[in-house]
Every structure is written in structure tokens, then in C-alpha cells.
């Protein structure tokens, strides 16, 4: 299976990609983390991880450009699950990844700017769907305010539901990721979120993974 984390703007996509790969690895899944983003954030993250011998090693590769499609096809025959971290619409590697992905996770902040970029992501998905008929996508709200009085999340859900109404292969996840400092902290420790002691963040992410990777 190939799962791609795809976002035009940074929406904690690398944090989600790494944490998903770690989650699967610690469950015994033969997983490969593929860094397709020109910033190589996932590779740098793994360098921190490799420096900590208490953490399980996650195999990681870098791929870019026109070779992404063929490379992912080949690697998917060698690993049970590929987790791909890539940029959005303006990134060629991301567009090629969509052509071979089984599932695309699109993280979105509940903000007007992020919702505007979601339109671009949906167009990219639509273009890829023409060649990749089995493609499915799930939108995940991330950076959600923990204060229930803040209505941004509800408003974002309504707006997203309207945007994806005509896309029968795109869904909005019931689970979400609340904004917590731990999500920025783990980028320098090499951990996935489920390896931290933040019980709320761990529980929330596991529930999300159980929903989207079912």
C-alpha cells in the first residue's frame, strides 16, 4: 500500500508522515518512509532518530522528479506499506506520487488561507484520478484549537464538506489533530508522536490512524 501525505502549504505534514511510519513500524508493519519533498524534512528527522539507539530504525529513501512514479511502484513490491512525505501542487514529485498512491492524506489547518490552498490540492487529486482510478483521499484537520468555544473547527468542517461534495473519493476524517507543543518538539527528538508521553496526543493520533488506515 502507498499512502501519501499531500499538502500545498505546511500543515504538519512531515510530522504526520513520520508519526504514521513510526506507528506502523511499531505495530510490526514492514514500512518504508519516502521523502519526496525538496526540503528533505523527513530525512533530517530520521537523522535525529538514528542518533537515539533506543528508537527503532525506520528505513527511509529520498526520491524526486520524474523517477518518483517508477521508484514507488518498484518499492511497493518490496515493502508492505510506503509512507510518502511530499509537497503540494507545485511540486512535481508530489504529482507523480499521486499517480501511484492508494491513499492520500491531506492535512489542513482550520483557517481561511489553508482552506484556500485545499482547492489546489483537490484539483491535483482530480487530475491524478483520471489515471489512478483507485485513488482515495481523506482530509484531516490539524492544528485544531483545544478550546471548544472556538468555532473555527466547526466552520472549517462545513466549508470542507461543501468543497468535497462532488468528490466521491474524498472524505473528511472524523478524527483530527489538536495543536500541541509536543508536535513541534518531536522534530528534534526523532520520535513519532506515539512514542511520546503525551497521552492525549498519542490517543488522538492512534484513533486517527485507525480511522484513515483501516
How many other C-beta atoms are found inside a 10 Å radius of the C-beta of residue 78?
9
Contacts (Cβ under 8 Å, ≥6 apart) of 177: 12, 16, 107, 140, 141, 142, 143, 144, 183, 204, 205, 208
Q: What is the pLDDT of residue 193?
A: 97
* Alpha carbons 32 and 76: distance in angstroms, whole number: 9
Give the torsion sign (CA, 172, 177, 179, 182).
Answer: negative
pLDDT, tens digit, 9 for 90 and up, residues 178-197: 999 999 999 889 999 999 99
* Alpha carbons 179 and 145: distance in angstroms, whole number: 6
Say yes or no to pLDDT of 214 above 80: no
Tally the domains of the chain.
1
Range of the domain at 158: 2-212
Q: What is the pLDDT of residue 10?
A: 59
pLDDT, tens digit, 9 for 90 and up, residues 82-115: 999 987 656 788 889 999 999 999 999 887 777 7
Contacts (Cβ under 8 Å, ≥6 apart) of 110: 141, 143, 144, 145, 152, 153, 155, 156
pLDDT, tens digit, 9 for 90 and up, residues 31-51: 999 999 878 889 999 999 999
Longest dimension (CA), the chain: 48
- Residue 191 belongs to domain with CATH number: 3.40.50.300
Q: What is the pLDDT of residue 208?
A: 97
Q: What is the pLDDT of residue 187?
A: 87
Q: What is the pLDDT of residue 64?
A: 86
Model confidence at 154, in pLDDT bands (50, 70, 90)? confident
pTM: 0.93
Mean pLDDT to the nearest integer, 65-89 = 90
How buried is residue 44: exposed, middle or buried, by Cβ count under 10 Å (0-12/13-18/19+)? middle
In this structure, what C-alpha cell is assigned to residue 157?
468542517
What residue has cell string 538514528?
A: 50
% the chain with pLDDT above 90: 71
Amino acid at each position: 500500500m502507498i499512502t501519501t501525505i499531500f499538502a500545498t502549504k505546511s500543515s504538519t505534514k512531515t510530522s504526520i508522515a513520520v508519526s504514521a511510519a513510526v506507528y506502523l513500524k511499531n505495530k510490526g508493519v514492514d514500512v518504508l518512509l519516502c521523502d519526496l519533498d525538496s526540503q528533505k524534512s523527513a530525512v533530517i528527522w530520521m537523522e535525529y532518530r538514528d542518533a537515539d539507539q533506543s528508537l527503532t530504525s525506520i528505513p527511509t529513501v529520498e526520491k524526486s522528479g520524474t523517477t518518483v512514479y517508477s521508484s514507488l511502484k518498484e518499492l511497493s513490491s518490496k515493502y508492505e506499506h510506503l509512507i510518502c512525505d511530499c509537497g503540494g501542487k507545485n511540486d512535481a514529485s508530489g504529482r507523480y506520487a499521486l499517480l501511484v498512491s492508494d491513499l492520500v492524506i491531506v492535512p489542513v489547518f482550520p483557517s481561511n488561507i489553508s482552506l484556500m490552498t485545499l482547492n489546489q490540492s483537490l484539483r491535483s487529486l482530480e487530475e491524478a484520478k483520471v489515471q489512478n482510478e483507485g485513488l482515495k483521499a481523506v482530509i484531516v484537520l490539524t492544528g485544531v484549537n483545544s478550546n471548544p468555544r472556538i468555532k473555527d473547527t466547526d466552520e472549517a468542517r462545513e466549508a470542507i464538506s461543501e468543497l468535497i461534495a462532488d468528490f466521491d473519493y474524498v472524505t473528511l476524517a472524523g478524527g483530527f489533530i489538536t495543536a500541541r507543543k509536543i508536535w513541534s518538539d518531536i522534530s528534534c527528538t526523532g520520535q513519532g508522536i506515539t512514542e511520546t508521553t503525551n497521552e492525549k496526543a498519542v490517543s488522538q493520533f492512534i484513533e486517527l490512524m485507525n480511522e484513515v488506515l483501516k
